[in-house]
Amino acid sequence: MEDRVRNIIIKYGSSILSTDTFKKTFEQKHHLHLTVGDHTLGVTEEAVKMCLKRGIIDSPTLKNVVTASLCHDLGIMGRNEKFKNVIECHTMHPEESVKVYRELTGEDDPRVVDAILHHMFPIKPGRPKYTEGWILTAADKKASVKEKTGTKVISDRDRMELLSC
């Protein structure tokens, strides 16, 4: 991961990365052999890279993108107890993630909520309304494809640096 990308994730995401809730995501499997935590960090990296590529460098947007990326799948934690089946998990985890975002940050930014709620588009109907949502939706798909084809896994160094910030 580029230093610039890592520094942006730490700057805007350290208050989430340092929580027990976030650290627990490295205990639940996701996309075959990865964990929810590794997927989340991969998505956040892709999302920040997309922002920089498009010249999106303003603090409010970067903060929203990092926050939404780090929280977008937190509602999937405890999936076996929370959801009856895979379809229910797919359709309901964004709403659950919004709850975790609000609890974890004490914030309720409409642009972050919109991004988390609609990150499954177009698999789940409902388009994102804002830039943050489109970035997250694209980054989630890109990271997932890389994970499933085994071409991208967050490095031990990046994971350690991000979790110890």
User: Which residues would be at the binding site for Fe ion (CB under 5 A)?
Assistant: 73, 140
Judged by CB, which is closer to Fe ion: 114, or 140?
Answer: 140
Nearest to 150 by CA among 67, 1, 31: 31
Judged by CB, which is closer to Fe ion: 140, or 158?
Answer: 140
Instruction: Give the integer Cα–Cα distance in Å for 163 and 155.
Output: 12
- Least gap, CB of 73 to Fe ion (angstroms): 4
Residue where the block lists tokens 């999937």: 76
Q: Which helix (H) or strand (E) holds 135?
A: helix 131-148
Contacts of 76 (CB under 8 A, 6+ apart): 28, 30, 36, 89, 93, 96, 97
Judged by CB, which is closer to Fe ion: 70, or 164?
Answer: 70
- Least gap, CB of 37 to Fe ion (angstroms): 11
Paired tokens of 28: 């639940």
Judged by CB, which is closer to Fe ion: 73, or 158?
Answer: 73
- Least gap, CB of 4 to Fe ion (angstroms): 23
Instruction: Give the integer Cα–Cα distance in Å for 13 and 82.
Output: 26
- Least gap, CB of 75 to Fe ion (angstroms): 8
